[in-house]
């Protein structure tokens, strides 16, 4: 247990140090850039720079949302208003984009969060590594470290213990042990406190959240209807051009066989072989079509085994880790399966990765799926990308999509869908 707590304290210390650096470097930088750019809007320059800077602010906030989910299972919703699909281009489009972003309440919540993050957020985040380092330093004082310090500057105050000799160095070591004990028991709590503070600043109020949720569900419902209609047209086209054509050809062959079976048995045998081949190809196409609608393994064995079966068909080595104690509802299960399939397909096409990892779990009332690759990175959610399709698919079930894909990789696509296990 002590070893486990020690590892947890070290992990919390590393996470706290990373969060503090993000707050003191990243948040300060983007806040200054945003303030300067918004200040320049009245003279026209800021109209062109503000959208890019605010996108940088949102990317910074989204990175913290992703870390909150990964490190502390704290879910922070994405409250940004979507841009109209018929956005104009050119100078008029830039002015319109800048206006929409400045009118978005989420923009100003982001700005308030930056101020809190670079102050209170940084202070909370620095405590876990500070406790670990202070505790280790205290334990090292009785080993002779106190002597050069005291010789150089006289009495050394370790926290509230004045160190002047071996005895007081021993007291400092006891205090250091106390700090390490606090770090082992409170490090994770402090990290969660940091993320809860972040959620308190970034999350919209209840009324606004409900309003945005209604708007989003309305939009995703329309997308779902459009997608269903397109899927029905695709099935009709595949049946008409594939299996139906082969079945018609097979019927014609059988008619010819019936006419030739007594006059020309040899040619009749050839037509029988051709009809058998057409029936096998039609059956294969029908199976592929059914698998594209709803894979049998998904219905029979659930999401975990279906994703594992999907991974076996990929040309890239894929590891799948599933931690589910039950099954989710069939519609959610189907949406999650095809979202994973689309994410992996995009990764195979564009990432250049040599290895994929898929983690499926359920916690906090949500199904969580992470698809990671060691490819080149640079993936974004944008118009026309496969990730946009995944986002729309998840949105039908009030799910969210987060993407972390720095240049050079790795890329992590995280999907969350609120649901309960049966």
Residues 152 and 262 in one domain: no
Q: What's the CA gap between 12 and 125, in Å, rounded? A: 9
Nearest to 37 by CA among 50, 28, 23, 24: 50
Domain of residue 156, residue span: 2-204
Over residues 330-345, mean pLDDT: 85
Q: Report the range of poorest mean pLDDT among 17-31, 139-153, 207-221, 258-272.
A: 207-221
CA nearest 204: which of 294, 109, 316? 109
Output the pLDDT for position 1.
44
Same domain for 129 and 226? no
Given a cut of 80, whether residue 395 has pLDDT beyond it is no
CATH of the domain at 383: 3.30.565.10
Q: What is the pLDDT of residue 35?
A: 93
pLDDT above 70 coverage of the chain, percent: 81
Co-location of 158 and 41 in the same domain: yes
Split into its structural domains, the chain has a count of 3
The overall longest dimension of the chain from CA atoms, in Å, is: 117
- Residue 162 host element (H or E): strand 161-163
Residues 89 and 53 in one domain: yes
Tens digits of residue pLDDT in 26-37 = 999 999 999 999
Listed residues 179, 204, 229: the one ending a domain: 204
List b or e across 204-217, with b for residues whose CB sees 16 or more CB atoms inside 10 angstroms: beeeeeeebeeebe
DSSP 9-62: HHHHHHHHHHHHHIIIIIIHHHHHHHHHHHHTGGGTHHHHHHHHHHHHHHHHHH
Pick the residue with more confidence: 226 or 123?
A: 123
Element (H, E) at 84: none
Number of Cβ atoms within 10 Å of the Cβ of 258: 11
Task: Select from 396, 252, 414 the least CA-distant residue to 329.
Answer: 396
Within 8 A by CB and 6+ apart from 52, the residues are none
Tell me: do 20 and 61 sit in the same domain: yes
Taking residues 347-374, report their average pLDDT: 87
- Give per-residue pLDDT as tens, 59-99: 999 999 989 988 888 888 877 877 776 667 777 878 888 88
Residues 327 and 197 in one domain: no
pLDDT in tens, 94-129: 888 888 889 888 899 999 999 999 999 999 999 999
Pairwise pLDDT comparison (409 vs 290), residue with the higher score: 409
Q: For the segment 192-218, what is each residue's pLDDT rounded down to a tens digit?
A: 999 999 999 988 766 666 666 666 666
Same domain, residue pair 196 and 255: no
Last residue of a domain, one of 157, 185, 204: 204
- Per DSSP, the three-state class of 226 is helix
Q: Within this chain, do residues 278 and 412 fall inside the same structural domain, yes or no?
A: no
pLDDT at 257 over 50: yes
One domain for residues 166 and 74: yes
For tokens 């040899």, what's the residue?
266
**Confidence check: pLDDT of 418 > 50:** yes
CA 350 to chain centre: 18
Q: Is the pLDDT of residue 289 over 60?
A: no
Strands 400-404 and 161-163: unpaired
Asked if 342 and 279 sit in the same domain, the reply is no
Last residue of a domain, one of 293, 318, 350: 293
Per-residue exposure over 33-60, b if at least 16 CB sit within 10 Å of its own CB, e if not? bbeebbeebeeeebbbbbbebbebbbeb
Q: Tell me, what's the pLDDT at 57?
A: 93
Cα-atom radius of gyration of the chain, to the nearest Å?
A: 30
On average, the pLDDT of the chain sits at: 80
43/183 same-domain check: yes
Q: What is the pLDDT of residue 119?
A: 93
Q: Which residues contact 339 (CB under 8 A, 6 or more apart)?
A: 369, 390, 393, 394, 415
One domain for residues 217 and 191: no
């Amino acid at each position: 247990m002590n070893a486990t707590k020690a590892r947890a304290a070290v992990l919390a210390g590393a996470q706290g140090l990373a969060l503090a650096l993000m707050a003191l470097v990243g948040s300060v930088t983007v806040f200054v850039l945003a303030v300067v750019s918004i200040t320049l809007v009245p003279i026209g320059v800021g109209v062109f720079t503000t959208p890019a800077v605010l996108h940088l602010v949102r990317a910074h906030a989204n990175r913290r949302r992703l870390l909150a989910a990964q490190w502390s299972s704290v879910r922070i919703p994405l409250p940004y208003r979507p841009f109209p699909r018929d956005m104009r281009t050119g100078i008029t489009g830039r002015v319109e984009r800048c206006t929409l972003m400045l009118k978005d309440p989420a923009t100003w919540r982001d700005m308030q969060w930056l101020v809190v993050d670079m102050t209170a957020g940084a202070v909370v985040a620095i405590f876990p590594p500070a406790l670990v380092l202070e505790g280790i330093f205290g334990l090292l004082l009785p080993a002779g470290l106190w002597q050069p310090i005291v010789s150089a500057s006289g009495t050394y105050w370790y926290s509230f213990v004045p160190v002047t000799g071996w005895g007081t160095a021993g007291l400092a070591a006891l205090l250091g042990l106390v700090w390490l004990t606090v770090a082992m028991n409170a490090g994770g709590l402090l990290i969660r406190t940091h993320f809860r503070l972040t959620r308190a600043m970034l999350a919209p109020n209840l009324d606004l959240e409900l309003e945005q949720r209604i708007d989003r569900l309305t939009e995703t419902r329309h997308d779902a209807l459009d997608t269903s209609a397109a899927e029905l047209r695709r099935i009709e086209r595949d049946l008409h051009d594939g299996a139906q054509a082969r079945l018609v050809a097979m019927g014609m062959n059988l008619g010819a066989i019936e006419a030739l079976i007594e006059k020309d048995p040899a040619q009749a045998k050839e037509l029988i072989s051709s009809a058998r081949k057409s029936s096998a190809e039609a059956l294969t196409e029908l199976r592929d079509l059914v698998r594209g609608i709803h894979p049998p393994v998904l219905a029979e064995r659930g999401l975990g085994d279906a994703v594992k079966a999907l991974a076996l068909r990929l040309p890239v080595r894929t590891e799948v880790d599933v931690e589910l104690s039950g099954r989710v509802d069939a519609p959610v299960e189907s949406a999650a399966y095809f979202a994973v399939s689309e994410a992996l397909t995009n990764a195979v096409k564009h990432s250049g990765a040599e290895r994929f990892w898929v983690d499926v779990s359920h916690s906090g009332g949500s199904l969580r799926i992470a698809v990671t690759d060691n490819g080149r990175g640079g993936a974004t959610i944008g118009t026309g990308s496969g990730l946009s399709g995944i986002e729309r698919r998840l949105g039908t079930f009030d799910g969210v999509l987060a993407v972390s894909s720095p240049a050079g990789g790795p890329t992590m696509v995280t999907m969350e869908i609120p649901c309960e296990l049966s």
